[in-house]
Homo-oligomer: A and B are copies of this chain.
Amino acid sequence: MQIVRDTNTASRLSQLWRLHNLRIALVPTMGFLHEGHLSLIRLAKRHADRVMVSIFVNPTQFGPNEDLASYPRDFARDEQLCRQEGVDAVFYPTPATMYADDHSTWVNEDSLSSGLCGASRPGHFRGVCTVVLKLFNISGCHLAVFGRKDAQQALIIQRMVRDLNIPVQLLLAPLVREKDGLALSSRNNYLSPDERQNALSIYRGLQEADAKYKAGCRDAEQLIEILRRHISGAGGKIDYISVVSQDSLQAVNRIDSPALLALAAYFGKTRLIDNIFLD
Which residues of A approach B to under 8 Å, CB–CB?
7, 11, 100, 102-112, 129-130, 133-134, 137-138, 140, 159-160, 162-167, 248
Q: What's the Cα separation between A163 and B140 when bound, in Å?
A: 16
Contact A108 B111 (CB under 8 A): no
Residue from the list B105, B112, B140, B166 in contact with A137, Cβ < 8 A: B166
Q: Which residue of B lies closest to A108 (CB)?
A: B106
Q: Kindly provide the distance from the CB of A82 to the nearest chain B CB, expressed in whole angstroms.
A: 22
Interface centre among A103, A104, A140, A159 (most CB of B within 10 A): A104
Q: Which residues of B contact A100 (CB under 8 A)?
A: 162-163
Q: What's the Cα separation between A210 and B109 when bound, in Å?
A: 43
Q: Kindly provide the distance from the CB of A115 to the nearest chain B CB, expressed in whole angstroms.
A: 13
Q: Kindly provide the distance from the CB of A126 to the nearest chain B CB, expressed in whole angstroms.
A: 9
Contact A109 B105 (CB under 8 A): yes
Q: What's the Cα separation between A219 and B180 when bound, in Å?
A: 72
Q: Which residues of B contact A106 (CB under 8 A)?
A: 107-110
Q: What's the Cα separation between A104 and B106 when bound, in Å?
A: 14
Q: Kindly provide the distance from the CB of A135 to the nearest chain B CB, expressed in whole angstroms.
A: 8
Q: Which residue of B lies closest to A138 (CB)?
A: B165
Q: What's the Cα separation between A134 and B162 when bound, in Å?
A: 10
Q: What's the Cα separation between A197 and B133 when bound, in Å?
A: 47
Q: What's the Cα separation between A100 and B225 when bound, in Å?
A: 36
Q: Which residues of B contact A103 (CB under 8 A)?
A: 163
Q: Which residues of B contact A134 (CB under 8 A)?
A: 163-165
Q: What's the Cα separation between A111 and B104 when bound, in Å?
A: 6
Q: Which residues of B contact A129 (CB under 8 A)?
A: 105
Question: What are 27 of the A-B contact pairs (CB < 8 Å)?
Answer: A7-B165, A11-B165, A100-B162, A100-B163, A102-B111, A104-B109, A104-B110, A104-B112, A104-B159, A105-B108, A105-B110, A105-B129, A105-B159, A105-B160, A105-B163, A106-B107, A106-B108, A106-B109, A107-B108, A107-B164, A108-B108, A130-B164, A134-B163, A134-B165, A137-B166, A137-B167, A140-B167
Q: What's the Cα separation between A137 and B165 when bound, in Å?
A: 6
Q: Which residue of B lies closest to A248 (CB)?
A: B102
Q: Which residues of B contact A133 (CB under 8 A)?
A: 164
Contact A104 B137 (CB under 8 A): no
